[in-house]
Amino acid sequence: MIRVGVVGCGFQGRVHVDSFRTIEGAEVVAVCDRDEQRRDALADEFGIAGRHAGHEELLAAGDLDLVTVCTMPDTHREIALAAFAAGAHVLCEKPFAIDFAQAREMVEAARAADRLLSIGFNMRFTDNAQALQAFVAEGRAGAPLYARAWGKAGEPPWWGRHHEKAVSGGGALASTAVHLVDLALWTAGFPRPVSVSGSTATAFPVKRGRTAPSEAQAAAYDVDDLVSAHVRFENGFWMTIEGAWVWDRPGWDYSFELQAESALLEFDPLRVTVEGEGGLDDATPATERPIDWSLDFPISVRRELENVVRAIAEGEPLVVRPEEALVTQAITDAVYRSAREGAEVRVEAH
């Protein structure tokens, strides 16, 4: 039985605890959170005996095989390094870390401890993403040429401190659109990035100021809520990225499209178009249903956690490898650096 400790009892921590109930061979034996009321409410609901104020206490209390980190990025490095030192494997939620340097330190610590590290890019486990990856693996798409990834929302995600740069590392890109950047790169085979030209803006509070739940949250808001970037890769591939929390269209618009030599792959709605003898043909893979994020989000998280558990217990390969997540973090850092400097910058991805 894989003994699991969950750090952070907010929204994502609750999803983790609930998911582990259905994963054979794993059990959440302890949780921790600085908020005692939130921690005890979650532990009581799911019958968890181990409850602690912080990750130090959680790690000192017992022999854990896996620690899942469901806190904001400013704490990811500290918690992961402590978990590796205690002999545990780690699944760390995205964003990976505050910056590339901290993310790389986490990867190096996992190697030194001979422990597994995976990052919470759960969208890879959706049916749509898996179908596109299988299409590419069959060799039907050909070499990737260009991708466009975007994550646009009508208002900031006030359910966490994503609007505070010191805590989150960034806004519409680092906290939201990064999911689609990861998906596009994964589908393209993670080519090596070379340079980035990026621009960002903070439109709040002129836009969406009315949505802030409190004056304190509004005053703390200091991140990008509109971003775009052009990324060049060493094999001639390129990508454009778009992110927003102030897009003047209700709801969410999250997707990516990849133009390859022999096919156009689109994530949501799922569509694959190929060039046939008489013109363009629909080669969209069959899936059980179109994406419904209210359903697919918890399903994809459970599949992600199942993969990590099987990797620990049976040696199954990780679907989200830390070396790949490092590339995504390097691109994110480069977009912000380019925006600050007003010029194209090199990507340091190693």
pLDDT at 67 over 80: yes
User: pLDDT band for position 290 (50/70/90)?
Assistant: confident
pLDDT computed for residue 276 by the predictor? 84
Polymer length in residues for the chain: 350
Question: Which residues touch 24 (CB under 8 Å, ≥6 apart)?
Answer: none
Q: What is the pLDDT of residues 127-143, one digit of tens each?
A: 999 999 999 999 999 99
Question: Which residues touch 206 (CB under 8 Å, ≥6 apart)?
Answer: none
Q: What is the pLDDT of residues 171-199, one digit of tens each?
A: 999 999 999 999 999 999 999 999 999 99
Side by side, the strands of the sheet bearing 117-120 are 50-52, 26-32, 2-7, 66-69, 89-93, 117-120
Is the peptide bond prior to 269 cis by the omega test (within 30 degrees of 0)?
A: yes
**Cβ atoms 212, 218 nearer than 8 A:** yes
CATH superfamily of domain region 127-288+325-346: Dihydrodipicolinate Reductase; domain 2 (3.30.360.10)
Question: Where do the domains of the chain lie?
Answer: 2-120, 127-288+325-346
pLDDT at 349 over 80: no
Q: What is the pLDDT of residues 2-56, one digit of tens each?
A: 999 999 999 999 999 999 999 999 999 999 999 999 999 999 999 999 999 999 9
DSSP letter for each residue of 177-197: IHHHHHHHHHHHT-PPEEEEE
Fold of 2-120: Rossmann fold (3.40.50)
- Rg, the chain, Cα only: 20
Is the peptide bond prior to 205 cis by the omega test (within 30 degrees of 0)?
A: yes
